[in-house]
Every structure is written in C-alpha cells, then in structure tokens.
Structure 1
Amino acid sequence: MFKNKVNFILVVFVLLIVFIYYNQDPESVLDSGSESNLNILETGKMQDNINNEELDKKIVVHLAGNVKKPGVYKLNKNDRLVDLIKAAGGLKEKADLAKINLAEKLYDGQKIFIEEKIKIKPSSTFADPENEVNEKSVINNFSANSSLININQADQNRLEKLSGIGPAKAAAIIKYREQNDYFSRKEDLLNVSGIGEKTLENIRDEIVLQ
C-alpha cells in the first residue's frame, strides 16, 4: 500500500514538471547565445545576397605612382579616374597632370600609373655629355610611348590613324567597346566586325590597352 502511494506521488510529480515546461514562455527556452548566433547567421546570409546582387556593379583597379595612397581599390563600374584618385587621397605635387585623363573610364583589373613630371635641366657649356644622352633617351622613350593609341579610350579620328583602319572599322571598334566595356587583350579585336588576323598584326605594335 505504501509502495503504491509512493509511485502515485512520483507520477504526479513528473506530470507536474512536464506541464510547467510546456507552458513556460517560448522565448525563455532560447538562451542569449542561441539568439546571437541566429542573428549572425541571418546577417551573414543577407550580406551574401547583397554581394551577389552588386557583384557586376563593382570593379577592382590598381593605382600606383604619384598618389598619396597607392593601392588596389574597389569602385563602382561607372567610376572615372578622378573618382579613383579621390579614393586614393589625391595626387602628389610631382604628379604630371598633362599625362592623365581625369575623365578616363575605368575597367576591372586595370592598373594605372601616375607619372612624375620630367625636369629637364637647362643647357650648359659644361654639361655632362652622359647626362645629356640620358635625358634625350627619356624624352625619346616618352614620345614613342605617347604615339601608341589606346583602343579602350581613343575616339573615331584617333582610331583611323591606325594602319588599315578606316572609318567603318573605327566605328566598329567603338561599337564593340560600348557593348563590352573594354578590350582586355589585343586579340579581342578579332571579335570586331571587319578585323582579321592580318589587320591585327599590322596594328599590334601601334596600340595599347591602358
């Protein structure tokens, strides 16, 4: 009799515990650590969605030379060189503004080097012949490089100066550039209507990509 009474009390006690557990506030079941982890997971998932949506709107560009903070920058797809320079803290005093186009359109993977102004010493009767030769070499090299045509930036008239490129082919290059943003390789010119292997070889040494 006593044993049955004890068993009955134990059953009632267990039922009471179960009843209290299932009728408590659901929020109190989760500890603060669980809630924090949940928030982190949701935030991370939301961030991944944002990154996927904006992936095609961003470009990464390397800026070097005479800027205050050279480095690699992530920018909007439609940003120009002036926006990149602002992100880098501006130009140094020695930067040569005459050699850059602040309105230049940027593209992903591009590297831009801001050159320093070339100081040419005045001629002197006792000038060092070796230094004079070096200065002439620098000037000649710059002149040679500046004659190259940037197919990612050149306008119709500039493109027509390339060997074998007339108005129709120049217009086709600009059309391709507008549809594809930029040329990542010289060989991409083969995708332009009217330009074949022979034309590409004729202008390969006359063009640059940046």
Structure 2
Amino acid sequence: MKFKQILASFFLAIMMISTPVFAGDHMVDINSATAEQLQEVKGIGDKTAMAIVAYRNKHGAYKKVGDLLHVKGIGEKKLAKIKDSLTIGNQDD
C-alpha cells in the first residue's frame, strides 16, 4: 500500500513539473500550433489564427512573441491581450 502511494506521488510530481500552469490555461507555441490550437487562446479568432500560421509558413519561425506585430490584424493592443498565453517553445516574450 505504501509503495502505491509513493509511486502515485512520484507520477503526480512528474506531471506537475512537465505541465506548465498559467491561470488555468496552457501556453500555445506560435511556432508549432495549428490554426485550431491558436484559436484556443482568448482573443484569437479564425482569421487571426490563419494569418499567424500563414505568416509563419511564409517567413519562417517567430523569434519572439512580439514578432506577431508583423501579422496583419495584430496590433499593440491585441498583442498585449494575448501574449501571456503564447510562447515560442522554451522562450517566452
């Protein structure tokens, strides 16, 4: 019985370490996310998500989340609302 509790605690700890938690939401990687995954972010609709993916396909990977300002339809205000839910892999902006 004790071994099962230790094992369960171990797996729970591993899951907590490997899964980022951000105010109940998860981070979306703008360099690998599909348009559908991008739409999970509050403030990103269908057109914006498709524009983010299209820009990435044409110009290559984003170097920082702030590069989204180059995407048509994303300005300073919109970026300020969505940036906390976005990442570029291991680095955040």
* TM-score, reference length from structure 1: 0.35
Q: Which has the higher contact order (CA 8 A, sep 6+)?
A: 2
The equivalent position to 2:47 in structure 1, one of 146, 163, 168, is: 168
Counterpart in the other structure of 2:86:
207
Distance 1:140-1:165 versus aligned 2 partners, 3 A rule: same
- Runs of 5+ consecutive residues of structure 1 not aligned to the other structure: 1-120
Q: Secondary structure at the match of 1:122?
A: helix
The equivalent position to 2:15 in structure 1, one of 129, 132, 139, is: 139
The CA deviation string for residues 112-166 of structure 1, in whole angstroms up to 9 with x for no partner, is xxxxxxxxx7315xx9xxxx4x864542342226921110010111011112000
Supply the distance in 2 between the matched residues of 1:175 and 1:183 (Cα, whole angstroms).
Answer: 12
Structure 1 outlier segments of 4+, above 6 Å? none
* TM-score, reference length from structure 2: 0.73
2:70 corresponds to 1:187? no
Which is richer in strand? 1
- Runs of 5+ consecutive residues of structure 2 not aligned to the other structure: none
- Say what the alpha-carbon RMSD is for the aligned residues: 2.5
User: Which residues in structure 2 correspond to 1:58-137 (within 5 Å)?
Assistant: 122-123=4-5, 132=9, 136-137=12-13
Distance 1:200-1:138 versus aligned 2 partners, 3 A rule: farther
Counterpart in the other structure of 2:38:
159
Q: Which has the larger radius of gyration?
A: 1
